[in-house]
């Protein structure tokens, strides 16, 4: 199986780089959710548009948003 985003060899949907980006986003979301009433999709949109977000994070956000119908 290859990473759906970059084609690197992976045993899961994402390679280790994209999986780590997702793990960091999930962890950060917990802080955002406790501080605000932001939902997951809104959070993904904000992270995706943030100029300080790295390319792997943006790619994961784009993929997750497209899977959920944006």
Hey, how many other C-beta atoms are within 10 angstroms of the C-beta on 22?
18
Could you tell me which residues are beta bridge partners of residue 9?
A: 2
Q: Does residue 11 belong to any structural domain of this protein? A: no
Q: Does residue 6 belong to any structural domain of this protein? A: no
Give the domain range for residue 54. Answer: 16-67
The tens digit of pLDDT for each residue in 35-46 reads: 998 999 999 999
Write down the pTM of the prediction: 0.87
Q: Does residue 28 belong to any structural domain of this protein? A: yes
Q: Give CA–CA dist 10/1, Å, rounded.
A: 6
Q: Does residue 7 belong to any structural domain of this protein? A: no
The tens digit of pLDDT for each residue in 23-66 reads: 999 999 999 888 998 999 999 999 999 999 999 999 999 999 99
Hey, how many other C-beta atoms are within 10 angstroms of the C-beta on 14?
21
Q: Does residue 59 belong to any structural domain of this protein? A: yes
pLDDT of residue 69: 65
| DSSP codes, 5-54 | TT--B-SSSS-HHHHHHHHHHHHHHHHHHHHS---HHHHHHHHHH-TTS-
């Amino acid at each position: 199986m290859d990473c759906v985003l970059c084609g690197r060899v992976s045993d899961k949907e994402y390679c280790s780089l994209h999986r780590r980006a997702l793990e960091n986003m999930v962890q950060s979301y917990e802080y955002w959710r406790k501080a605000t009433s932001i939902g997951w999709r809104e959070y993904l949109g904000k992270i995706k548009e943030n100029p300080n977000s790295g390319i792997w994070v943006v790619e994961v956000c784009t993929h997750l948003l497209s899977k959920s119908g944006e």
